[in-house]
Amino acid sequence: MKLNNLLIIALVISFLFVGCERVKKLVAKKEIPEITLQEELNPEKMARELWKKIQEEKYRVNWKMWPGKEAFYIGGSEPHGALLTTYVNESALKTVIDKREQMPSGAIIIKENYMPDKTLDSITMMHKIEGFNSMVNDWFWAKFQPDGKIATAEKDGQTLILAGKVSTCIECHGRQSANDYIFTSPLKKEVSEAVKVEKEISDVEKMANELWNKMQSENYHENWKMWPGKEACYEGTEPHGAFLTTYVNASAHEAIVQKKEKMPPGAIIIKENFLPDKNIASITLMHKIEGFAPDVFDWFWVKFAPGGKVMTEEKDGETVTLAGKVAGCIECHGKQTSNDYILTGPLKIKHTY
Ligand code: HEC
Ligand code: HEC
């Protein structure tokens, strides 16, 4: 029995020397669960095997670079180089392209760190080995000198070998734990965010259409008051029209008359924007909806074309729908957060502008 166990241990150790792939397979199959493999792992040896492996695979020739990153791209920040080239093996590449959330076991990322003059300074690597360090997504970390020697670092008078579970790497990369400890680009996030934004856009457009129908059915031209003290077609300012007419619904009107500090939920302000020739250009609107956007006082913003279509705007090559939490509106109106984002006039009496 005892001899048997010893034999198994010897077997495992001999496999370890063969390379990381072997370790991976053994752990994956969990053939010998009673042996704590991690104690037997020799990070230095594994790092040397890893170096040998990537040289044999001629990664510079046979591997692809991180999608979207050229050779010698400018490094984002310390501690990696001023210029970076990042290679990925096939399984890592597939993960990036398919936008999977996590790198699979076997994935290798090689980052070459260059000085500003393109001298190679070091090579840092992440290699996922199933079972290696499950607390932190099984990454094996290593830093090499250009000649392939494992880099070291001095810490508290001790020389650390930068291979294996390297705490400095893990601490910093840990900020990206939601992205499988990876900085270079989001693995899956992009996709889900795009979907979310699309969904939000269609929701806010629907809300805007309902709002348009509501103001038409209430016949605001006839039944709502204008902003107290403002006539029809008063002279306007950028970016609103040359002339403006500002209507308010009953609850917004009451808040102005009573000099309340804030508009209540349900308040609607409609600003008709006219061209210098007094033709209508657009209709901009603020509608306070409880819970819609608490961080910006719950205002729903929208810009309609004269016919009621929600307008769009080109910004940085993207089409922005001008409905909902519209950044452009919020930025400028945000100058008056103390006045509930309103610029036509002060709400509270003696408001200092
Ligand atoms: C202080 C923070 C910090 C430390 C410490 C750090 N890194 Fe990084 N690492 C980064 C950042 C930031 C990037 C992205 C760089 C870029 O693309 O501009 C990165 C990228 C990488 C990449 C490419 C894959 C990815 O995550 O985007 C590898 C491989 C890598 N680091 C390995 C290491 C190793 C090995 C160590 C330890 C020896 C280490 N790093 C230490 C911040 C750090
Ligand atoms: C660059 C600044 C700026 C931007 C951007 C801007 N506004 Fe305004 N907005 C103003 C100013 C100034 C007024 C006051 C005009 C007046 O009545 O004299 C105003 C007034 C308004 C009013 C009347 C209520 C109030 O706050 O006084 C509404 C409604 C309105 N804007 C909606 C919008 C919408 C919707 C957007 C985005 C599509 C937008 N605004 C973008 C500056 C801006």
Task: Name all residues whose Cβ lies below 6 A of ligand 1.
Answer: 75-77, 79-80, 84, 86, 109, 111, 124-126, 141-143, 162, 166, 168-169, 172-173, 182-184
Q: How far is the CA of 318 from the centre of ligand 2 (A)?
A: 22
293 lines ligand 2 (CB under 6 A): no
Q: Closest residue (by CA) to atom 11 of ligand 1?
A: 183
Among 69, 73, 80, 132, residue to substitute to test ligand 1 (most atoms within 8 Å of Cβ): 80
301 lines ligand 2 (CB under 6 A): yes
347 lines ligand 2 (CB under 6 A): no
Strands in the chain per DSSP E:
64-65, 73-74, 83-88, 108-114, 120-128, 139-144, 152-155, 158-161, 163-164, 225-226, 234-235, 243-248, 268-274, 280-288, 299-304, 312-315, 318-321, 323-324
Q: How far is the CA of 42 from the centre of ligand 1 (A)?
A: 22
Ligand nearest to the CA of 77: 1
285 lines ligand 2 (CB under 6 A): yes
Q: How far is the CA of 116 from the centre of ligand 2 (A)?
A: 47
Give me the tens of pLDDT residue by residue for the chain, a chain 353 residues long: 445 555 555 444 444 444 333 344 444 433 433 433 445 679 999 999 999 999 999 999 999 999 999 999 988 767 888 899 999 999 999 999 988 889 999 999 999 999 999 999 999 999 999 999 999 999 999 999 999 999 999 988 899 999 999 999 999 999 899 899 999 988 875 544 545 555 555 688 889 999 999 999 999 999 999 999 999 999 998 789 899 999 999 999 999 999 998 999 999 999 999 999 989 999 999 999 988 888 889 999 999 999 899 999 998 888 889 999 999 999 999 888 889 999 988 887 654 44
Q: Indicate the fold that domain 191-339 takes in CATH.
A: Chalcone isomerase (3.50.70)
Q: How far is the CA of 335 from the centre of ligand 2 (A)?
A: 11
Q: How far is the CA of 109 from the centre of ligand 1 (A)?
A: 10
d(CA 70, CA 206): 42
Q: How far is the CA of 81 from the centre of ligand 1 (A)?
A: 10
Structural domain boundaries in the chain: 38-187, 191-339
Note whether 253 and 225 are within 8 A (CB).
Answer: yes
Phi, psi torsion values for 306, nearest 5 degrees = -50, -30
Among 289, 333, 340, residue to substitute to test ligand 2 (most atoms within 8 Å of Cβ): 333
Half-sphere exposure of 103 (CA within 13 A, CB side): 30
Q: What is the DSSP string of 270-297?
A: EEEEE-TTS-EEEEEEEEE-TTS-GGGT
Note whether 289 and 314 are within 8 A (CB).
Answer: no
Which amino acid is it at 66?
W
The number of the ligand 2 atom at minimal distance from the alpha carbon of 332 is 2
Q: What is the pLDDT of residue 4?
A: 54
Q: Which residues of 287-307 are buried (b: 16+ CB within 10 A; e: fewer)?
A: bbeeebeeebbbbbbbbbeee
75 lines ligand 2 (CB under 6 A): no
Q: Model-level pTM?
A: 0.48
Three-class SS string for 115-129? CCCCCEEEEEEEEEC
Q: What is the pLDDT of residue 283?
A: 96
Note whether 161 and 43 are within 8 A (CB).
Answer: yes
